[in-house]
Amino acid sequence: MSEHALMRACVHFCACVLVSLAAIHPAWAEWQQGEYRIIRAQYGTAERNVDVTARLKELAQRDERFRLGNSVFGVDPDRGRGKVLRIYAVGPDGRNRTFEYTEGSWVDGSQFEGWRGGTWGDGDRNDNGHAGWGDRPGHQDGRDGEYRILQAQYGTAERNVDVTSRLKDLARRDERFRLGNDTFGVDPDRGHRKVLRIYTEGPNGRNRTFEYTEGSWVDGAQFSGWSGGNWGQGGWRGGWGGERPGYGNGYDNSSRSGLQILRAEYGASNRRIDITYRLQQRVSQGRLNVKVDNETAGDDPAERQDKKLWITYSVDGREMSRVVKEGRFLMLP
């Protein structure tokens, strides 16, 4: 075999491997599309903090998400005080942005470029004069954020309420606020830990879900027109949005081709869980073929009860709904 032919064969093989990986796990391809490249990471308080960039790389290689706590980094730089993780990054437009995560919150790598690959963390060479702890999270140039808010929900996957209107009121008063039960004046799922999910559309048209746990700070700097309130007019069709925040399938699908899962709930009439994201991840080559059971759903929301799947989906923009009993197979389209 000639050198030229060998080169072509190698390129073809690599392309096949990449296509296969994306087909086996659709989320794999999505990981390569995060918008922000990490410069460095610090953990602690403004007074006492340590560089955890190397440790963050190790965590990223193991999993796409992790829950933040003292044990994660193996160090407590400021004992007795609430600590945060700050990830300093640069966006595709060259703007620097600081991401802040409080203890107990989830760190989601889907928004960062090359998260699992570890080709980031090159420090001050790209920090553009923003080294150090910094004053506040968000964009560092004082300009408006990039993400337009479509809708906001507060609660759990099983029980949640629309809080878009209340979020507008809070945004007009202050740029940042601390999330708690009293923030929205409602407790949609008593006895369970609740989160705020903000569903947005980015400058490139991709939808993204931001998730905030109770006790964490909600920073409006990343959202366009935050204090003006010219947002929240709808366009989100993904329900609660599945198991995890990040880039999701909540677009208004009327102009999109192929199979899109708009909303999927599994359980009994009085106890259901949202598995929209979970089923969208099972779509392969425009088709979905799954057995409706606890394993597919990842949980049993109504023990010792007959369960069903309620699903709304679109094929080439045409919206349809079905109800499938537990134990049956669902084949779409």
User: Is the same domain home to 75 and 113?
Assistant: yes
Best CA proximity match to 169, nearest among 85, 93, 232: 232
**Residue 16 covered by a domain:** no
Cis? peptide before 245, omega within 30° of 0:
no
**Residue 36 covered by a domain:** yes
DSSP lists the bridge partners of residue 315 as 259, 318
**Residue 270 covered by a domain:** yes
CA distances to 30, 67, 89 from 37, in Å: 15, 21, 5
Confidence of residue 27 (pLDDT cuts 50, 70, 90): very low
**Residue 113 covered by a domain:** yes
| Distance from the Cα of residue 46 to its chain's centroid | 27
User: Is the same domain home to 222 and 129?
Assistant: no
For residue range 132-163, what is the model confidence (pLDDT) as tens digits? Answer: 787 666 555 555 677 899 999 998 887 888 99
pLDDT of residue 25: 38
Give dist(CA 137, CA 217) in Å, integer.
Answer: 10
User: Is the same domain home to 154 and 229?
Assistant: yes
**Residue 184 covered by a domain:** yes
Q: String of b and e for 38-50 (b: at least 16 CB within 10 Å)?
A: bbbbbbbeeeebe
Alpha helices in the chain (DSSP H): 3-24, 26-31, 53-62, 70-73, 164-173, 181-184, 276-280, 294-297
User: Is the same domain home to 237 and 206?
Assistant: yes
CA distances to 2, 96, 294 from 108, in Å: 46, 18, 25
Give dist(CA 187, CA 30) in Å, integer.
Answer: 34
- Please state the rounded mean pLDDT for residues 316-322: 81
3-class DSSP state for residue 2? coil
For residue range 100-132, what is the model confidence (pLDDT) as tens digits? Answer: 887 777 787 877 888 888 889 876 544 444 457
Domain boundary among 139, 170, 192: 139
Host domain of residue 43: 26-139
User: Is the same domain home to 108 and 158?
Assistant: no
User: Is the same domain home to 134 and 153?
Assistant: no
**Residue 123 covered by a domain:** yes
User: Is the same domain home to 88 and 129?
Assistant: yes
**Residue 17 covered by a domain:** no
> Is the pTM above the cut of 0.85?
no
Percent of the chain with pLDDT over 90: 19
Torsion of CA 100, 103, 105, 107, to 10 degrees: 60
**How many folded domains does the chain comprise?**
3
User: Is the same domain home to 194 and 229?
Assistant: yes
How many Cβ atoms sit within 10 Å of the Cβ of residue 130?
A: 17
Best CA proximity match to 219, nearest among 165, 179, 169: 179
pLDDT of residue 114: 87
pLDDT of residue 129: 41
User: Is the same domain home to 76 and 99?
Assistant: yes
pLDDT of residue 96: 85
What secondary structure letter does DSSP report for 216?
P
Phi, psi angles (nearest 5°) of residue 13: -65, -45
User: Is the same domain home to 193 and 265?
Assistant: no
Mean predicted lDDT score pLDDT of the chain: 77
H or E element at residue 149 = strand 148-155
Structure tokens belonging to residue 306:
């007959």
pLDDT of residue 192: 80
Domain boundary among 242, 269, 297: 242
User: Is the same domain home to 40 and 134?
Assistant: yes
User: Is the same domain home to 195 and 272?
Assistant: no
**Residue 14 covered by a domain:** no
Structure tokens belonging to residue 219:
């920073």
